[in-house]
Structure 1
Amino acid sequence: MHAGTHSMKEALKPVQAKGRAPAGTGDWLAGIAMGPAGVRQFRLFRPPGVTFGERLPLMVMLHGCHQDAKTFAASTRMNVVAARERFLVLYPEQDRLSNPQGCWNWFDTKSGRAHHEVTLIMRALDLACTLYSADRERIGIVGLSAGASMAALVVTRHPERFKAVTMHSGIPPGTASSPLSAVGAMHGRRATKPLPASPGTTSLAWPPLLVIHGDSDAVVAPSNGRAAAQVWANAAGAVPGSGRNVQRGNRHPMRVIDFKRQGATVATLVEVECLAHAWSGGAANQHFSDRKGPDASRMAWAFTAKQFGRQR
């Protein structure tokens, strides 16, 4: 083999590996969304056996720093849940030119960059609905770390588009507005601004929120998880229940608190013991993944699916 040809093949290996589908059945489709912040790639998982005209629910998954669509899919194993429960999964992907660590710029609201990235994510969502027949009335959004903070920001900008939002190890919206303030927020040294109150007495402005956070998280302080649930509850006038302790098999125990208003769950806080800055119940041998935690992917889907029949 010619030396130049061999070198080119070696150089292309990481690109080819990134393009290959994660393990499991189903289609791993590629796409591009364009907007004021430029261009972002996305991946969409479609479970096997989808028939023509069939409209499936959609889960939007926003990865954390140092991740991309494929590594996030591999870590969370959300595609396995999607294949079993029959829903689509959209993985927008941050560009390394926009953030060298691959983080969503959720904090950069002063410059407008965060809001431009929200627009790109929504463009990818609309493409998923148009090209792959996702059901526009059954959409949830999930994020890890910076992706969790971006997911919350997306929802506060477009609350009518989502039935539920899940924040895993993230920082609530209104806690930072610049890179410097984001560092303070990560360490729990920033107060969270209130969300606008829900209009009227019977409707809720924001879709229900599920918060999952490890009590051993040294990257994003656990106080951020509590603040996210509380700010969501305050906006709706919801009050916390007494909480319950849950342990499934040999997985890490968790403390679950529901915040309710008039019997409806506005926010649920899940604090996982011994969990660091990692996806709870994630695949083994993956970065930012703890296989010993309760399965966050199953929790996020169950929480979201429960909202599909609920009127706001």
Structure 2
Amino acid sequence: MARRSTASVFARAYERNLKALTKLTLRNSKRVAGQVTRAAAKQMKPPPGRGDWLSGMALGPAGARRYHLFRPAELQLAPGERLPLMVMLHGCGQTGRDFAISTRMNALAVRHRFLVLYPEQDRIAHPQGCWNWYERRSGKADAEAATLMAAVDQVCMLYPADRERVAVAGLSAGASMAALLATRYPARFRAVAMHSGVAPGAARSSATAIGAMRGRNVPPMPVTAVGKAMGAAAVFATLPPMLVLHGDGDAVVAPSNARHSAEVWAAAVGAVAGPVRAVKRGKRLPMRLTDYRRRGRALVVLCEIAQLGHAWSGGAARGLFSDPAGPDATRMVWAFVAAQFKAAAKA
């Protein structure tokens, strides 16, 4: 009898523990599910800006990629009018929405009447959400570039975007992908802006990408080597003008990449460096500007920002990879892009 009683006690205790564990598991599952739902809802919530946050998806050689298009509110278009398109490529660990909040490009879009496209990297393609700009040997980089171009084409077909006034800008991995896009499809972009990216042609695999991020594999190249490093599409092609921004306190992507990016691009377009100019605006961090000119026109502009780390200069406070202390990179990018649109219209 005592033996059966002890077994019964253990059985009841086991059942109680099992019920408690089941309740705890269900409670945790509901909590996790709630967190996932709230996170998903947050990403779907439009970023600040008076306009529409339109969702879309493009198909290409790299598969499907989501995107959002910001369209300013209350646009009054003249018959047949089409608007400039700014393509913004986020960095690792970011989403398109994060990048929109950090850069506040949408506010300028409202003021200056242009569309902003925010493609989204798929976490299956890269766990940290990085664009695979360096996977040239495997072909993954070119496949992603082609898929991004499919997104641009789709937006130009569905919305009043002007194919003759398209520019691309990016941060970190997005900057390197922006440069790759411009070398693979030079006729499709009027301007490109790299913020804290790796120099074009400095990497062709994940191993060489890590070296390039640390400042290796990016020596100044002679003009004859530029086309080979940047890709066949860049050879004998007119590359779009480039703006390069980088902080000299960047501990993620070596600051030496900035000058090498400018030198490689300048060599490809036949531009020559002018004197370095020191500029400080108000309480913002100081910067050094170098114009690379050809026939009087600045085709490459290098902006090296003192003390800035791996972050969008002048970005929103508390934004991911964003530093409000730096010069306003968003305004600088748009001013550079708008100038190239104007120059192309006069040509």
What is the distance in 2 between the residues matched to 1:9 and 1:276? 35
Counterpart position of 1:170: 197
Do structure 1's residue 40 and structure 2's residue 65 form an aligned pair?
Answer: yes
Compared with structure 1, are the counterparts of its residues 264 and 204 closer, same or farther at alpha carbon in structure 2 (3 Å cutoff)?
Answer: farther
Larger relative helix fraction: 2
Structure 1: 5+ residue runs without aligned partners? Answer: 198-202
The amino acid of 2:180's aligned partner reads L
What is the distance in 1 between the residues matched to 2:259 and 2:218? 12
Counterpart position of 2:226: 195
Counterpart position of 2:47: 22
| 1:143-170 deviation digits (Å, cap 9, x = unpaired) | 1000000000000000001110000000
Greater alpha carbon shift after TM alignment, 301-310 vs 177-186:
301-310
Counterpart position of 1:137: 164
Counterpart position of 1:103: 130
Structure 2: 5+ residue runs without aligned partners? Answer: 1-25, 229-235
Do structure 1's residue 234 and structure 2's residue 267 form an aligned pair?
Answer: yes
SS at match of 1:302: helix
Query: How far did residue 26 of structure 1 move?
Result: 0.7
What is the distance in 2 between the residues matched to 1:148 and 1:36? 21
SS at match of 2:100: helix
Counterpart position of 1:58: 85
What is the distance in 2 between the residues matched to 1:6 and 1:243? 56
Instruction: Tell me the TM-score normalised to structure 1 length.
Output: 0.94
What is the distance in 1 between the residues matched to 2:76 and 2:96? 25
What is the distance in 2 between the residues matched to 1:286 and 1:5? 29
What is the distance in 2 between the residues matched to 1:176 and 1:204? 21
The amino acid of 1:120's aligned partner reads T
Correspondence list, 1:109-258, <5 A: 109-191=136-218, 194-196=225-227, 205-258=238-291
What is the distance in 1 between the residues matched to 2:277 and 2:69? 36
Q: Aligned pair count?
A: 306
What is the distance in 2 between the residues matched to 1:233 and 1:15? 43
Counterpart position of 2:19: none
Compared with structure 1, are the counterparts of its residues 258 and 29 closer, same or farther at alpha carbon in structure 2 (3 Å cutoff)?
Answer: same
Between the aligned residues of both structures, percent identity stands at 55
The amino acid of 1:262's aligned partner reads R
Instruction: Tell me the TM-score normalised to structure 2 length.
Output: 0.84
Compared with structure 1, are the counterparts of its residues 228 and 51 closer, same or farther at alpha carbon in structure 2 (3 Å cutoff)?
Answer: same
Larger gyration radius, structure 1 or structure 2: 2
Counterpart position of 1:74: 101
Counterpart position of 2:118: 91
Let me know the Cα RMSD of the aligned residues. 1.9
> Which aligned segments of 4 or more residues in structure 1 are displaced greater than 3 angstroms?
2-11, 51-54
Query: How far did residue 128 of structure 1 move?
Result: 1.1
